[in-house]
Copies of this chain bind each other. A is one copy, B any other.
Amino acid sequence: MPITGRKALNRAGMRFTSQRALIMEIIRRGRGHLDADEIYRQARGKEPRLSLSTVYRTLQMLKKLNVVDELHFDESHHHYEVKHSAEHYHLKCLGCGKVVEFSYPLSSYLKENVPAARDFDITVTEVSMSGYCARCRRGR
């Protein structure tokens, strides 16, 4: 039950603004893995007055509402994607930048196999793997 419509926002004491609608729309259509600046650039196409601050503020809000996930590839900025229903992780190619997704129930697997993880109430599991994709591996 991800909060996304006007009604749900109002119920939470927040307002449904055109900026927020636009930003959510861009993230949804974007097929994930967008960074703040890319969202900003796309948003300005529709609403040239929108500010980068609003993008960042909206991203924080969507993260808190569990609508989006923040991804930390090995870079100096973050990426965002709509929260999927299935647990999935990412492989990023250091050669061409391509991101490959794969679904895997890693958190429950670790809970079963790692004693130390049993005593913990794990709320976030993040895995980031990088290397070289098949295509990039050839060209070297």
Residue of B nearest to A125 (CB): B129
Say yes or no: A121-B126 contact (C-beta < 8 A), given A104-B113, A104-B114. Answer: no
Q: How many residues of A contact B (CB 8 A)?
A: 33
Residue of B nearest to A116 (CB): B102
Please give, as numbers and ranges, the residues of chain B lying within 8 Å of A93 by CB-CB distance.
120
**Docked CA distance A70–B80 (Å):** 23
Is there contact, CB below 8 Å, between A120 and B100?
A: yes
Please give, as numbers and ranges, the residues of chain B lying within 8 Å of A121 by CB-CB distance.
131-132, 137
Contact of A122 among B122, B126, B130 (CB under 8 A): B130
User: Within 8 Å of chain B (Cβ to Cβ): is A128?
Assistant: yes
Please give, as numbers and ranges, the residues of chain B lying within 8 Å of A120 by CB-CB distance.
91, 93, 100, 129, 131-134
Please give, as numbers and ranges, the residues of chain B lying within 8 Å of A74 by CB-CB distance.
72, 124, 126
Contact of A114 among B102, B122, B137 (CB under 8 A): B102
User: Within 8 Å of chain B (Cβ to Cβ): is A21?
Assistant: no
User: Within 8 Å of chain B (Cβ to Cβ): is A94?
Assistant: yes
Please give, as numbers and ranges, the residues of chain B lying within 8 Å of A122 by CB-CB distance.
91, 129-131
